């Protein structure tokens, strides 16, 4: 019977992990680009690893050129846990995070490529954004659409017509809130917590998101201060309503 061991990188497996310099942990804007390009359709619960630490080192240039980075553009934004490994590069922008991340923050998408979860990606980007931009990003992640990655033009007729891609939600307000409380000692609490009360699930388009922000932000942000609505939820009509609606 095989035993499960925890390796020095914080993951669990029945055998020792084969950690090498070929691993890449895609984060920040590159993670945003990944989720806009690929969504969560190929990700299942088993891919949300119990691993808690980024890789220790950046791949060498020759190794990186051979990597499948799933259509992402350079420079890639990645995270490592050792500052000593960072070197100047035109194709890599490296960040350092040496603490443990919450379980599920690192998603394995195969072949040594890891991506920051939508929740982690949001908080990596949100701290530097003004509140309306924070909400645009959060409502996109919690909604059923994606904006184009790096303004890429898609051949999909629905994209050409609408200007966005329909897809299942990447995360939810509840997951973003839970992740914030796990990470609150590692992120700018004032800047990120201010956005949570204005986030709602289910936006179906960029224009719907813009309308929600306009209607619900307080007056001093230029909004109308209305309560958050419930978006695109199914409504089951009562019997009398069904009968009336069938009449010509």
Each residue's pLDDT tens digit, 43-79: 765 566 667 788 877 776 666 665 678 889 889 999 9
The pLDDT of residue 202: 96
CB atoms within 10 A of CB 121: 27
Long-range contacts, stretch 148-153, CB < 8 angstroms, 24+ apart: 148/36, 149/32, 149/33, 149/36, 149/37, 149/71, 150/33, 150/73
Length of the chain: 248
Q: Which of 196, 48, 32 is nearest to 109 (CA)?
A: 48
* Residues 153, 223: Cα–Cα separation, whole Å: 32
The pLDDT of residue 190: 61
Question: What pTM did the predictor assign?
Answer: 0.81
The pLDDT of residue 14: 34
Structural element, H or E, at residue 165: strand 165-166
Instruction: Identify the three-state secondary structure at position 82.
Output: coil
* Residues 172, 135: Cα–Cα separation, whole Å: 13
Which residue ranges of the chain lie beneath pLDDT 70? 1-22, 44-50, 60-67, 85, 150-161, 187-192, 241-243, 245-248
Burial 166-181 (b: 16+ CB within 10 A, else e): ebebbbbbebbeebbe
Over residues 13-44, the pLDDT tens digits come to: 333 343 344 688 999 999 999 999 999 877 76
């Amino acid at each position: 019977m095989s035993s499960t061991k925890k390796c020095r990188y914080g993951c669990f497996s029945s055998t020792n992990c084969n950690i090498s310099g070929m691993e890449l942990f895609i984060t920040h804007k590159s993670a945003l680009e990944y989720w806009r390009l690929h969504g969560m359709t190929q990700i299942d619960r088993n891919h949300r690893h119990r691993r808690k630490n980024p890789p220790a080192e950046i791949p060498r240039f020759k190794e990186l050129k051979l990597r499948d980075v799933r259509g992402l553009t350079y420079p890639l934004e990645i995270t490592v846990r050792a500052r000593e490994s960072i070197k100047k590069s035109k194709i890599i922008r490296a960040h350092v995070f040496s603490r443990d991340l919450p379980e599920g923050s690192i998603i394995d998408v195969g072949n040594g490529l890891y991506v920051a979860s939508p929740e982690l990606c949001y908080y990596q980007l949100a701290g530097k954004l003004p509140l309306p931009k924070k909400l645009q990003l959060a409502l996109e992640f919690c909604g059923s659409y994606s904006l184009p990655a790096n303004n890429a033009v898609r051949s999909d007729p629905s994209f050409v017509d609408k200007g966005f891609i329909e897809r299942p939600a990447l995360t939810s307000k509840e997951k973003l809130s839970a992740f914030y409380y796990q990470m609150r000692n590692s992120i700018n609490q004032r800047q990120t917590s201010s956005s949570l009360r204005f986030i709602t699930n289910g936006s179906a388009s960029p224009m719907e998101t813009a309308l929600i922000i306009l209607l619900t932000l307080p007056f001093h942000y230029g909004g109308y201060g209305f309560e958050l609505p419930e978006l695109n939820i199914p409504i089951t009509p009562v019997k009398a309503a069904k009968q009336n609606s069938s009449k010509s």
